[in-house]
Amino acid sequence: MANTLTIKSTPFLSEEALKSGVVLAIKKPIGWTSFDVVNKIRWVIRKRLGVKKFKVGHAGTLDPLATGVLVLCVGKATKMIESWMATTKGYSGIIRFGATTPSFDLETNIDNTYAIPELTQENITRLIRKFTGEFQQRPPRHSAIQIDGQRAYKQARKGEIFELAPRPVEIQDLYLKPHDVDCLAFSLTCSKGTYIRSLARDMGTSLGNGAHLIQLTRTAVGEIQLEDCFEIEDCIAMLERNNTLAS
């Protein structure tokens, strides 16, 4: 089993450990894609080892506007990606009601506006009951799901019209509270394949208007918590150090 490295584990990493395979817990910055992080870490490792190729992959995409826990599997640990992807995820963020966007978040501009619903405790309780447990969820067109070998978001950005098939998801420990007159803050735990942007859209529809996600942080992947994760700069510094770590 590969070592899982967090800021609580070690400041150093040997070349032997890299080659044997490790799992890195990184706090993805806003504006970076998951592949930006993978490419940066892969470049640093290749430079340190003096090799042209080295396997690095992530265990679950985070959207560019999202922050939080991103698990990277390095070297032989890439064989563990599927098992990491199957773990539960934790998220927190903010949903704004009264408007929709094609991507269900701030990546695209508002396309429709509606009357802002009353975010009363009664409505909040109704949303929690409806969206806790197992149900069918339709993923957003602006997603990394592949359609005929192409990412769905690429087709969506071209203006192509299509719908992705609903899939079973499960949401646990859903908590909602007022954040502003038109916003609810949330925290939750969910299964693999759950789209929080779709949850925002569906909550808006449930209240008879529209909604979109304006802030998202992945707070946990399995047992890894946000506070355990490396900042990207600290992870790079750790990978560049020549000190050895016993494998």
Which position among 36, 63, 111, 180 bears the catalytic label? 63
- Token pair of 160 as six digits: 């192509």
Distance between CA 169 and CA 8 in Å, rounded? 32
Q: Where are the beta strands (DSSP E) in 86-161?
A: 89-97, 99-100, 112-113, 133-137, 146-147, 150-151
Cα angle at 216 between 210 and 221, to 5 degrees?
130
Chain-centre distance of CA 93, in angstroms?
A: 12
**Is 63 annotated as catalytic?**
yes
At 77, give phi and psi (nearest 5°): -70, -10
Pairing status of strand 67-74 against strand 22-28: antiparallel
Distance between CA 94 and CA 27 in Å, rounded? 19
Give the residue numbers annotated as catalytic, written as ranges.
63
